Structure 1
Amino acid sequence: MEIYLEDYHPIKKFLYKAASWGLYPTILSAIGFAFIGSPSNIQVLIRRSIPLELREHMLMVMNYEGWLITLFCITVFCAVWGGAGSQATVRLVTRKHKDVVSENDQLKEESNSKSINCYKVFSNYLYSYAQRFDLGAEERVSLYKLDMDMFSCIGRYSENELFKSKPSRLYPKDQGCIAKAWETGTFQDTSAPDPEDSLEAWKQHNIDKFNFTVEQIERIRMRSRAFYGLRLRNAENVTVAVLVFESLKTNGLPFGKLQRFFKPHEVKNLVNLIESLEQHIPSLEDARSEGF
């Protein structure tokens, strides 16, 4: 109740507090009406339970009929206090609850209007790469950010709708093309067998070369045969992300163009974009700090 009355005038605060104590007068009014409505012999037994000296003193102050009228008035007052107090308390809590809900909805709207869809921002940035290097429906470009020894996909683009969806899983930094690029700086490979000719050979190649498990291979939707990975470091020479191009065809990526384009200046532009949006990118560390 205190939290609801913080901004109220002291007199109004006292009245609402008194109203919130309505349970006790309600109990007293029930006892009073029970006594008044009970048969005379029961009333006599109850009166006799009062010590004799106290009864004599009370009768000296007021006769029995006077005390009965006084009890009736007190009982009615307590009944009104309990009923009206409960109603006032319910109205106060209901009104405050509506105010809190309204403020919460307003804050959500403000938060949503100010929030940035980082995945969309990065995906749009990667779209410019896809256009620049003429990547088609058999190619994809993805951006992975390092987050507590795991990589999360923070942007992805492909002309193929099946390959551009945002993945929900995290990627270990010791598996796949991501791991190779993270370890060596740049990585390219076109040695994977054709899964159309031998799916098992393609799976075994990825298990042996990229440290995948059989279960992880089964979950891979895009069975790529060509990769180009690039490690992205900031001004402090700290790895912040890995950029990966991949294709279903061994000749699907323009390796020469990629190597010539991603000079320090272009890498710096992408790293600056990532770091400028750092506070808006969901992370495992933030989730852990929130108790998840």
Structure 2
Amino acid sequence: MLWDNTSQYLRRCVRNMNFTAQERISVYAHVDGWFILAGRFSPDPQRNDPRRRKFPFNEGCIGKAWNSPEACHGTLPNPDKNLSHYVKMSQRRFDLPESVARDIRMKSRQYYARALQSDKTGTRVGVIVLESLSNSCFNSQELNTLISGKEEHLASLVMSSAGVSIFLRGSNSIGGIT
């Protein structure tokens, strides 16, 4: 239910952005030193299905955004043309282990990630990530404006998602769903 509510809210957030099947938006809650996938939307239903729901706090664009005062954004080379270069740049830019970079199903070329802060608690509670298989889809300034206007509601959804952490301890799943 919470996953569905968060995912539907994300769908509404990007309604006017002309999202295609090549884009995806995800929100992660920070719980006990991990990031827990709290919701996701892409016009392509296959991109909505999570392979993992639990991520290390210090890896990827999620970790970069969490540890940065500003949004993390960047582009990566085309993995279809040179997978080795894509993997190497993923390691360099986002501190991803080689095996993780190779195993990612959606090998996105453009990323925008930003920590979400709750005005109620005054603390960071999670990270929002927009990604695309295209290398020129997002405008960081427009995304900052979009997210700023929705940040408190996103933060409240993330804080609600943090309550499911009891199901995640020691596993990569929620209720048996990996």
Output the TM-score relative to the length of structure 2: 0.85
Q: What is the distance in 2 between the residues matched to 1:256 and 1:287?
A: 36
Deviations 1:12-66 (A, max 9, x none): xxxxxxxxxxxxxxxxxxxxxxxxxxxxxxxxxxxxxxxxxxxxxxxxxxxxxxx
Shift in Å, 1:169: 4.1
Q: Could you tell me which of 5, 14, 22 is aligned with 1:138?
A: 22
Counterpart residue number, 1:248: 133
Structure 1: where are the runs of 5+ without partners?
1-116
Q: Secondary structure of the equivalent of 1:282?
A: helix
Q: What is the distance in 2 between the residues matched to 1:210 and 1:148?
A: 21
Q: What is the distance in 2 between the residues matched to 1:128 and 1:169?
A: 22
| Root mean square deviation of aligned Cα | 2.0
Counterpart residue number, 1:283: 165
Aligned 8 A contact 2:115 2:128 in 1: yes
| 1:187 counterpart letter in structure 2 | C
Q: What is the distance in 1 between the residues matched to 2:169 and 2:104?
A: 26
Q: Secondary structure of the equivalent of 2:67?
A: helix
| 2:90 counterpart letter in structure 1 | N
Aligned 8 A contact 2:28 2:158 in 1: no
Q: Secondary structure of the equivalent of 2:14?
A: helix
Where relative contact order (Cα < 8 A, 6+ residues apart) is larger, the structure is 2
Deviations 1:80-117 (A, max 9, x none): xxxxxxxxxxxxxxxxxxxxxxxxxxxxxxxxxxxxx1
Q: Report the structure, 1 or 2, having the larger helix content.
A: 1
Aligned: 1:220 with 2:104 = yes
Shift in Å, 1:285: 7.7
The number of residues matched between the two structures is 168
Q: What is the distance in 1 between the residues matched to 2:102 and 2:30?
A: 24
Alignment of 1:20-169 (within 5 A): 117-169=1-53
Alignment of 1:170-181 (within 5 A): 170-181=54-65
Give the number of the structure whose alpha-carbon radius of gyration is greater: 1
Counterpart residue number, 2:83: 199
- Find runs of 4+ consecutive structure 1 residues off by over 6 angstroms: none
Aligned 8 A contact 2:77 2:85 in 1: yes
Aligned 8 A contact 2:54 2:168 in 1: no
Shift in Å, 1:153: 0.5
Counterpart residue number, 2:151: 267
Change (3 A) 1:287 1:196: closer
Shift in Å, 1:254: 3.2
| 2:165 counterpart letter in structure 1 | S
Shift in Å, 1:200: 0.9
Structure 2: where are the runs of 5+ without partners?
171-178
Aligned: 1:257 with 2:148 = no
Aligned 8 A contact 1:178 1:242 in 2: yes
Q: What is the distance in 2 between the residues matched to 1:231 and 1:145?
A: 10
Counterpart residue number, 2:174: none
Q: What is the distance in 1 between the residues matched to 2:78 and 2:169?
A: 40
Deviations 1:177-230 (A, max 9, x none): 10111011411112x111122111001111122111222122200011111111
Q: Percent identity?
A: 25
Q: Report the structure, 1 or 2, having the larger strand content.
A: 2
| 1:201 counterpart letter in structure 2 | H
Aligned: 1:189 with 2:74 = yes
Q: Secondary structure of the equivalent of 1:231?
A: strand
